Amino acid sequence: MRTVIVRGQAPVPEALRDVIERGSTSVQECRVPGPTPLPRDVDRVVYFIDGDDRDVVAAAKQALGAERRDGVEKLVYVSTDSSVVIDGLSPAECFRWPADEDRLKMAFMTSA
């Protein structure tokens, strides 16, 4: 399972990075200053947001549109703030960190 982590200014917590790496064969990370195209050569894209990072939200919304057009589910959205919501993502694609750590581990381990 090839994974890309998309993040803004906030670094990915080490415990979260460990969950992602254990459930992936390879992990790449990129920072967004704004919306970015959804990579097509990966199996999963994790959007991590800590606080109010509009660049990550914009990138996730753009990727959701591409995911719907392509009919391929590969998005995972992880937020530290329960008030940040991406309309259109299923509950299986959205996680709160660290509250959903166990659920996230299960999702990553079963799809690896």
pLDDT single digits (tens) 30-42: 899 866 666 678 8
Q: How much of the chain, in percent, has pLDDT values that exceed 90?
A: 48
Q: What is the CATH number of the domain that holds 8?
A: 3.40.50
The pLDDT value recorded for residue 88 is 85
**Would you say residue 47 has pLDDT above 60?**
yes
When comparing pLDDT for 87 and 106, which is higher? 106
pLDDT band, residue 72 (cuts 50/70/90): confident
The pLDDT value recorded for residue 38 is 65
Q: Where are the beta strands (DSSP E) in the chain?
A: 2-7, 26-31, 44-49, 75-79, 94-96
Total-model pTM: 0.90
Residue in this structure with the two tokens 């591409």, named with its chain if needed: 66
| Structural domain of 19 | 2-111
**Would you say residue 71 has pLDDT above 70?**
yes
- Give the number of domains in the chain: 1
**Would you say residue 85 has pLDDT above 60?**
yes
User: Measuring CA to CA, how many Å separate 102 from each of 32, 38, 44, 97, 106?
Assistant: 27, 27, 18, 10, 6
